[in-house]
Amino acid sequence: MDKLLRDKKAITVFLMPALLLFVVVLFVPICQSVYYSFCEYKGLTAPEFIGLKNYKDLLKDKSMMFALKNSLFFLIFSCVTQLVMGLFLAALLTNIKKGRNLFKNIIYLPCVLSSTALGLLWMFIFSPKLGINQALEKFGMEGPLWLMDTSGFIILPMWVIAFVALWQYVGQSMMLYMAQISGISTSLYEASYIDGCNKAKSFIHITLPLIKPMVATAMSLNAIGSLKFFDLIFNMTEGGPNHRTEVLATHLYTQGFKYNKYGYASAIGVVLIVMCLIVTGLINKFVKTENYEM
């Protein structure tokens, strides 16, 4: 049997297709992408090495600064709100019996729907003359231009999109926390009630410490997801008005595939990937702790 499991030929056959795809579609393109980011490359002529010029241009590019600011805003907003709301909903749902599945399934629904369709849907709901503003008009109020207002440090459209993103994806965090909470043995809670804890206390002293590993998982998922964020922005504002709602992914798309500045767009891609690696590293360092026996 050992001989069978050490069969070199079989190992190669099993691993080859996946490895080949990974090297050709992931590993080589990443290296190329890094190389392009040091090049002037517009698609028609071969890439020409220009050193750090693309990165220097990035620092001067106003839309890039908007994109960077907005991406960081998304990152922080989604990590915090998803944690708070996800945990809150999970705590509520684990405390009720009747209708738990129903509420859970309703909140999870947008996670499986296409964010293109949902983005377009919300774009209409927040458009100047439809949806919310029509409802406000009924009460004699005039609604703001939800997706076009440009005042403030974090402009109104960014808040709107951030809340839509929270609406769409909070189900995911909620489910992750629920899965972890339902894995905690009830004897721990019973012991705490005997010791005189009430529900709130046992939540703080038992539930919270025990779901810490899951916080790390859910947070890294959120963080990478919010850095990759593209569909909702593209369909709700297309980065407008005047590039104020641009994030890294939409900026990369516009520069690369609208203006064909492949070299410049690759530099944005490199910034994106570095941010992804840093953020996952940080989260795993600070949030992940030892796993407790449950």
Partner 1 sequence: MSDKMKSTTVKTIIYIFLVLVAVIYIAPLLWVFMVSFKTNAEIFSSPFSLPESFYIDNYTFSWTAGKLGIATLNSFIVCGITLILSMLIGSMAAFAIGRLRFKLAKPCMTFFLLGMMIPVHCVMIPLFTRFAKIGLSNSLIGLIIPYLTFSLPTTIFIMTGFFQSMPNELIESACIDGSSIYGIFFKIALPLSKTGLFVTGLMTFVANWNELLLAMVFISDDAKKTLPVSLSKFVGPYNTNYSQMFAAIIIAIIPTVIVYCIFSNQIVDGLTAGAVKG
Binding residues among 21-50 for partner 1 as defined by CB under 8 A? 21-22, 25-26, 28-30, 32-33, 36, 43
Q: Which of 114, 150, 185, 242 binds partner 1 (CB under 8 A)?
A: 114
**CA distance to 23, 31, 48, per residue, from 43 (Å):** 23, 17, 11
Contact between 101 and partner 1 per CB under 8 A: yes
Of residues 195-224, those binding partner 1 (CB under 8 A): 214, 217, 221, 224
Sign, CA torsion 122/125/128/133: negative
Distance (Å, whole) CA 215 – CA 87 = 9
Q: Which of 75, 158, 161, 270 binds partner 1 (CB under 8 A)?
A: 270
CA nearest neighbour of 81 among 207, 168, 182, 189: 168
In one letter, which amino acid is 190?
E
Greatest alpha-carbon span in the chain: 81
Contact between 154 and partner 1 per CB under 8 A: no
Tokens 């709130």 -> residue = 200
- Token pair, residue 239, equals 């980065």
Taking phi first (over 0 means left), then psi (-120 to 50 degrees means alpha), and beta for anything else, what does residue 246 get?
beta
Burial label for 143, CB within 10 Å (0-12, 13-18, 19+), is middle
Q: Which of 58, 176, 181, 215 binds partner 1 (CB under 8 A)?
A: 176
Q: Which is nearer to partner 1, 107 or 206 (CB)?
A: 107
Q: Which of 127, 145, 205, 241 binds partner 1 (CB under 8 A)?
A: 127
Q: Which is nearer to partner 1, 153 or 275 (CB)?
A: 275
- How crowded is residue 229: how many other Cβ atoms within 10 Å of its Cβ? 23
**CA distance to 160, 173, 230, 272, per residue, from 71 (Å):** 14, 20, 10, 10
Of residues 52-91, those binding partner 1 (CB under 8 A): 89
Contact between 278 and partner 1 per CB under 8 A: no
Q: Which of 92, 136, 208, 294 binds partner 1 (CB under 8 A)?
A: 92
Q: Which of 39, 64, 75, 107 binds partner 1 (CB under 8 A)?
A: 107
Of residues 243-262, those binding partner 1 (CB under 8 A): 248-249, 252-253, 256-257, 262
Contact between 113 and partner 1 per CB under 8 A: yes
Q: Which is nearer to partner 1, 153 or 279 (CB)?
A: 279
Q: Which is nearer to partner 1, 206 or 270 (CB)?
A: 270
Contact between 150 and partner 1 per CB under 8 A: no
Peptide bond into 110 cis (omega under 30): no
Tokens 């945990």 -> residue = 87
Q: Which of 4, 139, 187, 293 binds partner 1 (CB under 8 A)?
A: 4
Q: Which helix (H) or strand (E) holds 35?
A: helix 28-36
Q: Which of 76, 141, 191, 277 binds partner 1 (CB under 8 A)?
A: 277
In one letter, which amino acid is 198?
N
Q: Which of 71, 81, 226, 235 binds partner 1 (CB under 8 A)?
A: 235
Q: Binding residues for partner 1, how many (CB under 8 A)? A: 95
